[in-house]
A = this chain, B = another copy of it.
């Protein structure tokens, strides 16, 4: 008996597809900006009907929608298109979970410019964006972030509130608050929670607006300034550090963690929300890919593993760190306790 060894055939398709992958971003952006998904949800099914509804060329819409089928956002039956489960949930404006606006942050030219000469980024090891990249003092990109990314963060905010909001009086510092949704959701869930949102002043305007909108403005204070320098106040029971550590190298993270440790009450916890890859750094794909975003847009940021976070928090004085996977977001939560 012989066993056939099948050697995989080389296939240039993956190179062609990857070099053209930027067209996927452009196509999804165009579909969101033209509101193609909402118009399909309203019952426009053929290229002609969709084109008429969005005010675009019928040939172009046919080609765009076929491409959206290929990359997983629509399905096609005969010449009729319909939404995928994800498109219906997140890209139809009538859906409460709509977050098409993320395109305005994720594809903001001030961010994507980091990839226009990525060879130079890899050579030099740091962003080619001006100053410190996206973490530069008062970078207006974070106002964009605060305005557009809240809906995408809402599911994670709910899961975090469920984990840590508890009952009774708590004092919460929301670091790099942005839209403010993480602190706000805790305040909604625990009527005795008091939130202090820390961020640049222009960004805090968005958080304050949201605190009013969600009815927690009376328990939502602001602390404008730089997380590395401004006196943090406290003591706090919880310090929320969401989507923040990944911008910095590990010694800078530890410096921040020490500040947070000092501002916590005994028994208080630091609540970190992050993309946390496995130790191999190549899985799971979405979490591990986040490092390339940090390479492009920061001076020394990264997607740290849990064991790296654990060690940084330990060095900063925390007694223990626990990992919590989230159900509805690719990020994970790390709860680090002060004795």
A contact set with B: CB distance below 8 Å? 7-30, 33-34, 55-64, 66-67, 69-73, 76, 85-86, 88-91, 97, 99, 102-103, 106-107, 112, 115-116, 118-119, 121-126, 152, 155, 280-283, 285-286, 288-289, 291-296, 300, 302, 329-330
Q: Which residue of chain B has its CB nearest to the CB of A122?
A: B60
Other-chain residue from B7, B23, B29, B126 in contact with A296 (beta carbon distance below 8 A): B23
CA distance A282 to B85 in the complex (A): 18
Q: Chain A: interface secondary structure?
A: helix
Query: Shortest Cβ distance from A87 into chain B, in angstroms?
Result: 9
A283 proximity list for chain B (CB < 8 A) = 70
Q: Are B15 and A28 in contact (CB under 8 A)?
A: yes
Other-chain residue from B12, B23, B286 in contact with A13 (beta carbon distance below 8 A): B286
Q: Are A18 and B12 in contact (CB under 8 A)?
A: no
Q: Are A60 and B295 in contact (CB under 8 A)?
A: yes
Q: Closest 8 interchain pairs by CB?
A: A57-B125, A10-B89, A22-B22, A26-B115, A21-B24, A26-B118, A22-B25, A21-B21
Q: List 30 A-B contacts (CB under 8 A).
A: A10-B86, A11-B86, A13-B286, A15-B90, A15-B91, A15-B102, A16-B106, A16-B152, A19-B25, A19-B102, A19-B106, A20-B25, A22-B107, A22-B112, A22-B115, A23-B118, A23-B293, A26-B296, A30-B119, A56-B123, A57-B124, A59-B295, A60-B122, A62-B281, A63-B295, A64-B122, A64-B295, A66-B281, A66-B291, A67-B288
Q: Are A121 and B24 in contact (CB under 8 A)?
A: no
CA distance A76 to B280 in the complex (A): 8
CA distance A38 to B71 in the complex (A): 31
